[in-house]
Amino acid sequence: MHPEVDLVGAELARWAREVGLETHSRAGFERMAGRAFAGSGVDAALLFAKWLTWLFHFDDEWDEKPAGRAAEAVETAFARLARIADAPTGSRPGADVSAADVSTVDASTADVSTVDASTVDVSAAGASAEPRLPVEVAFADLWETTAERMSPRWRRRFLAGLAAQGRACRAEAENRCAGRVPSPGEYPRLRRGTAGPYLFDLVEPCLGVEVPARLRESATWRTLVDACNDVTAWCNDVASHPKERANGDVHNYVTVAATAFGLSDSGAVAWVNERVARGAEDLRTAARRLPELFDRFGLPADRAERITEVACAFLVAPRAQLEWLLESGRYDVT
């Protein structure tokens, strides 16, 4: 645990009040970030904790409220965020980076690491001049702080991930309206989209390092990131299953397995947990291959060391999230 986790928690609560985000008193996002960035500075843990707070708050809009059944509302919300990220601020470098239209990226098939968001026009989407909602105020503040640290290439990657999440959330809305449960074959890719692909890109600005494109696009690095996404998302599904079942939401790996294979709840949980274990092994295997990859790409030792910090955050994240699931008041987990 980060030695200054209490300070991170206090600063996180202050920020949430300032931007108007209402969070559960026992949400404890600072503790998840404090574990993932235990050896880093306060700034790294705090920035990630803020993004976690924002993401979970934003995610609840689709999981627990009527907007989650309205595809048009999903599109509008993501388009407004894209326009916020696209708006020049004067002080932020790279203000020429255009945001990605949520209607153009299919999260079920897109490789969000290679989608070029600078080629997409959002001028007709979300053009309303209405006052910003708290979730938009928080996003604007976080984007301003985060984007200025990173290159235009990284910012395009983030925006492509945001677009992919928008597409995935729209697909979920359409499923809810149709009463359709995703198949076991399509759900993992859909879940990667709704988890927020950009969440895993945020490790880089938190640590102040940017992974070179050729390394990030390698099969080994993609496996590292995808496995971390899968393991954390599926653990979250197990923890949130009772809550989401009560809300009538079928977008949960446990529900998907139970429906497809006729399993009991306990049988479906065991089925998901088996896949969590496989994903954890994929994560470890990919991490072990990184030194060889660093040598192949000729990365200097100091550069490789910094990138290793990013990889280690992915290795730590599943345990950090699992312990958070067990102690947070967000879910009633035994």
Rounded to an integer, what distance in angstroms lies between the CA atom of residue 64 and that of residue 247?
7
- Mean pLDDT, consecutive 10-residue stretches, the chain (334 aa), reads 94 92 81 93 95 88 58 84 73 35 33 35 40 88 92 92 91 88 94 91 95 93 96 94 86 95 95 96 96 93 94 94 84 65
Structure tokens at 88: 């020049």
Check residue 91 and give its pLDDT. 39
Check residue 293 and give its pLDDT. 94
Task: Tell whether pTM > 0.85.
Answer: no
Rounded to an integer, what distance in angstroms lies between the CA atom of residue 43 and that of residue 301?
25
Check residue 125 and give its pLDDT. 38
Domain boundaries, the chain: 67-177
Structure tokens at 239: 């923890």
What are the Cα distances from residue 35, in Å, to 123, 164, 205, 283? 40, 27, 17, 18
